[in-house]
Amino acid sequence: MSIQSELQSTIADLVVKGKGLLAADESQPTIAKRFKEIKVESTETSRLAYRQLLLTTPGLGEFISGVILFEETLGQSTADGKPLLQIAVEQGIVPGIKVDKGTVSLANACGDLVTQGLDGLADRLSDYKEKGARFAKWRNVYTISAHNPTQLGMDANAEVLARYAAICQSLGLVPIVEPEVLLDGDHTIACCFEVTEAVQHSVFHALHRHRVQLEYMLLKPSMVLPGKDSPSTASPEEIAEMTLVQLRRSVPAAVPGINFLSGGQTPEEATRNLNYINTMAGNAPWLLSFSYARALQQPVLQAWQGKPENIAAAQDTLYKRAKLNSAACLGSYTAEMEKE
């Protein structure tokens, strides 16, 4: 199969109406933080038990088309020797892999961060592909403050994202491009709109320079939201309208799918806002879906509590949240469905 055919096949399997992505790619420090909230120690054994719980959830493939995994998970197997990646495939879920190496301060950028991980990326991607991964994800972060993000910060991060995406496509892996404008801060929704638009423009200019084929990538953006410490709030209708206006201004129609991150929203907020976006999207050229981590997993962790006897209840919880977000992709979610 040619590289072009590989990319097209993966996009066809990921971009499916009514389906989204499960982000299960938490780094070791992040999953340790999540486990601490439920008083579970983060060990290789506990992480395997939890991620096995996620991937073996009966019927998950009805609503989830792809799963983003952490590198450790690619090499893990169940007690009877079945690789976790194979479990995902048997569910009809495309396996992908997080490949960035986290953020560091960007020199001379007054507080902006830049993401690491380009060194040796082609070799790592080749290894991940050999193990069964078909797509990859790279996350950049942008903090909103009186001075940030700077133009230098936006340009540097856009260049990194574009280089990553080009390397992925050269090897037949679909890149997920994730420029996350953080919810931290007291900024207004109007301020978030301006920053998000500037960030997206810088990203797509860089993708064009590096000749990334937009038809064979996915965008994982944040919604346009007021900062979590903002004195002003925004209605779901306002969030949806401003998010859609920003996307129409910034994202070419050639991009097949936009999978929103939840970015600190509660599970209910993330589902509700996604639903409003799809209700108001009209004839948007992209499939508008989700790529949620905490908004799918937080209720699951609370149900699990690290106890084997709670696995079935935790899986029921994951199935329900995936189903609710599937409904939001179709614009058919209602608050009453939360009580069912």
Q: Would you list the DSSP string of 253-286?
A: TT--EEEE--TT--HHHHHHHHHHHHHH-TT-SS
131 catalytic residue (yes or no): no
C-alpha span between 290 and 223 (Å, rounded): 11
72 catalytic residue (yes or no): no
CA distance readout (Å), 243 to 179, 225, 231, 333: 14, 8, 20, 19
**Rounded (10°) CA dihedral 170, 173, 176, 177:** -10
Beta bridge partners of 94: 66
Beta bridge partners of 113: 105
Question: What is the maximum span of the chain, computed from C-alpha positions, in angstroms?
Answer: 54
Other beta carbons within 10 Å of 211: 10
Handedness of CA 222, 237, 324, 90 (dihedral sign): negative
Catalytic residue among 26, 178, 180, 197: 178
- Cβ burial 38-52 (10 Å sphere, 16+ → b, else e): eebebeeeebbbbbb
**Is-contact 304 276, C-beta < 8 A?**
no
Other beta carbons within 10 Å of 139: 21
H/E stretch holding 9: helix 3-14
Q: Which of 189, 115, 105 is CA-nearest to residue 148?
A: 105
The residues near 335 (Cβ < 8 Å, ≥ 6 apart) are: 272
Question: What is the phi/psi pair of residue 161, to 5°?
Answer: -60, -45
Catalytic residue list: 178, 220
